């Protein structure tokens, strides 16, 4: 098993997640696509996380920030524009080289900060 099948056959599933500012997501809905946050635009791709990675991503890059949205995306619908590349500690992270078409989005939900200061995630498939 190689390529995407190897990734999807392991702990990384076909659903990937993007954390973004609520205002950025509302603009994407208005436009019909998401081109990424500032960091994504600077890096040349949209950063995503798997269900196993997204809580750590929130803690590392969005600690204590309110007004965020968690976006679930069907990774298979992204085709060849989605690359799984080494990042934190050598782990493979999904990077989208291009705009995110909203028809690949499964859902988008607020990502509130809990009383403990950590983001309160819905139950995510692993």
Is the Cβ–Cβ distance between 19 and 70 less than 8 Å? yes
Provide the whole-model pTM: 0.87
pLDDT digits (tens, 9 = 90+) for 29-55: 999 999 999 999 999 999 999 999 999
Provide CB contacts within 8 A for 83, sequence distance 6+: 45, 94, 95, 96, 97
For the stretch 76-120, pLDDT in tens is 999 999 999 998 788 999 999 999 999 999 999 999 999 999 999
All domains of the chain, ordered by start, with CATH? 3-111 (3.20.170.20)
More confident residue, 73 or 89: 73
pLDDT for residue 87: 87
């Amino acid at each position: 098993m190689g390529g995407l099948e190897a990734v999807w056959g392991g702990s990384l599933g076909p659903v990937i997640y993007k954390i973004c500012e609520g205002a950025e997501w509302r603009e994407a809905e208005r436009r019909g696509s998401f081109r990424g946050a500032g960091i994504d635009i600077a890096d040349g791709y949209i950063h995503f996380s798997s269900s196993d990675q997204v809580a750590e991503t929130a803690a590392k890059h969005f600690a204590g920030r309110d007004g965020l949205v968690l976006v679930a995306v069907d990774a298979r619908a992204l085709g060849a524009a989605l690359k799984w590349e080494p990042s934190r500690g050598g782990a493979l992270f999904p990077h989208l080289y291009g705009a995110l078409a909203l028809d690949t989005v499964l859902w988008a939900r607020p990502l509130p900060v809990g009383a403990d200061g950590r983001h309160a995630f819905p139950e995510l498939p692993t």
